[in-house]
Structure formats: C-alpha cells, structure tokens
Amino acid sequence: MSCDFLGIARERRYSPGKVDADRAILDAVAARLAADHRVRVVSADQPLPEIAAPTVAFAMCQGPAALAVLRRWEAAGVRVVNRAAAIANAHRGCMLAAFERDAIAHPASRLVRTDSTTELPEWIDRGSAWIKRGDVHATEADDVVRVDSYGAARAALAALARRGIANALVQRHVDGDVFKFYAVRGCFFVAFPPGEHTRRLAAAEEAAMRALAEAAAAALELEIFGGDCVRGMDGDLWLVDLNDWPSYARCRTAAAVAIAGYLQAQARRR
C-alpha cells in the first residue's frame, strides 16, 4: 500500500465511551495532512496493512496484535508516532517504573498482584487511595476505583482478579485541583481546570506543569500525549496519569494543527 501517512484508529475495546471522540482527532489530523499528502486511515480492529518506509504512521492503537505490527514496521524503517515501545510504556506498571527511575513527581504508588493482600502499602488505611488496573488504561468504570480503607482496597483488587486482571496500581490520593492536559512534544500544551470556579493556572504554574508533563512523556518516550496533574493544597504539582494519544476533545482543532505539523516535521527528517 502506497501513502505518505497512515493513521491507525484505536481498537474499540480501548475506547470505552470515546470511540467517536478518538476517531475524530485522528480524522482531523488526517484532513490536515491530506491537503498536501497522500493519507489513509485504518482501524486496528482489522488486520493492519503492510507498509514500508518512507511512510509515517500515526498510531492510536494499544492492543498487543497491533503493537507487534508496529514493531515490525519500525524494524523496517517506518517512522511510527507514538512508537510501539512508548505505547507499551504508558501501561501503568511500566509507567510507574519509569517515573521512579526518572524522579517524576507522582503520588505514592505501588504495583501489586490482585490476588494478594500482603503487598498493600501501609498507608492504605490512613486516607483515600485509588486502585487502577495495572496494564492498559481504563476500559470500563471498575478499572479505576477510589477506596478509603484496607477492606475496600481488598474488595477492589478481588474484583479485578475475578476479571483476569493480574496486577493493579495502588496510588495515594492527593487533595487538590485535577487539571487535564493535552500536549504534543515540544510544540503544544494546554491544561483545563476541573470546574469553572477553580482558580486557573498562573503563567509560572502552567510552565511548571508543562515541564513536568514533558519530562514524564520523555521518560515514557511519548510524543503525542495527555494526562492528569493535581495541584495540591500546598501548590505542589503531582502527575497522576499519562496517556498516549488522548481524544483532545476540548481542543481538537488546535491539537490537530499541532499534531499534523509535528508529523510533517518527522516526515521531512526522513
């Protein structure tokens, strides 16, 4: 198959309640690129086509079958954004290891087996915590649960174990304002407060949040990314989560311009 850019839509199982929003940002980027290039968009729910360099692939897929194809393309010289390794790094177990290795400011967290209660951190009974499935990001509501006791944590882990999910991230809750941010490495960043009455970020705070997000993305090797950052009651910033290729629903037009420009720059470097 011959094209300059190939977009890969996320598998439906990894877009719970966001299938249309996820596809919308991919299509918006493709439309920008199509003004000057040959572009095709396919779905990772179907077998991916064979392509070769110098095609640039922009990939929202997350499943193991699609990632195996991306790795094969990369080995053949295809430029993939985000790379397969970066997408896998965004799985919570790998993410925690990378954040700890690179000293990224994040709430106290521990990866535990869902069939064990002996690994729960000692602080689980001293305030709220979050239980999050330890592999991919949430595919349904029970994948991320807030708990406030040892017993509630055990119940949440047991529920994940019954669904065949082997590991979970236990993350300490941080009181404060949760900002959702959307970014493209080195060229785009916007953060949204949780409500209209929340104090917005001052310029210095936004710069600090952007620096934290960029450092975290670099730790995971992500180029197109978004996530959640808490501004604690004392003003400190804590990175709660980082995602590969969010939907950019609140800033889709501006994000599509930035992503398309980034992809074109990657193509020129080929």
What are the two backbone dihedrals, phi and then psi, of residue 258, each rounded to the nearest 5 degrees?
-65, -45
- If 0-12 CB within 10 Å is exposed, 13-18 middle and 19+ buried, where does residue 223 land? buried
For the segment 149-192, what is each residue's pLDDT rounded down to a tens digit? 889 999 999 999 999 999 999 999 999 999 999 999 999 999 99
Match 């598998």 to its residue by tokens.
Answer: 11
- If 0-12 CB within 10 Å is exposed, 13-18 middle and 19+ buried, where does residue 25 land? buried
Handedness of CA 162, 168, 172, 178 (dihedral sign): negative
Q: Which residue has the higher pLDDT, 270 or 183?
A: 183
* pLDDT score recorded for residue 81: 98
* pLDDT score recorded for residue 138: 63
Per DSSP, 117 falls in state S
- Spell out the residues 6+ positions from residue 174 whose beta carbon is closer than 8 angstroms to its own: 107, 230, 232, 238, 240
* pLDDT score recorded for residue 54: 85
Percent of the chain at pLDDT above 70?
97
8 A C-beta contact, residue 72 and residue 47:
no
* pLDDT score recorded for residue 142: 79
* pLDDT score recorded for residue 125: 77
Q: Mapping DSSP to helix (H, G, I), strand (E, B) and coil, where does residue 7 land?
A: strand
8 A C-beta contact, residue 6 and residue 42:
yes
> CA-CA distance, 163 to 126, in Å (whole number)?
28
Percent of the chain at pLDDT above 90?
77
What the chain holds in terms of domains, given with CATH numbers, is 5-82+251-269 (3.40.50), 108-172 (3.30.1490.20), 176-244 (3.30.470.20)
For the segment 17-59, what is each residue's pLDDT rounded down to a tens digit? 889 999 999 999 999 999 999 999 999 999 999 898 888 999 9
> CA-CA distance, 176 to 240, in Å (whole number)?
12
* pLDDT score recorded for residue 2: 55
The separation between the first and the last C-alpha atoms of the chain, rounded to the nearest angstrom, is 19
What are the two backbone dihedrals, phi and then psi, of residue 176, each rounded to the nearest 5 degrees?
155, -170
Strands 144-147 and 56-59 turn out to be: unpaired
Average pLDDT of the segment spanning 201-221: 96
Question: What distance lies between CA 68 and its chain's CA centroid?
Answer: 19
- Extract the tokens encoding 99: 């954040």
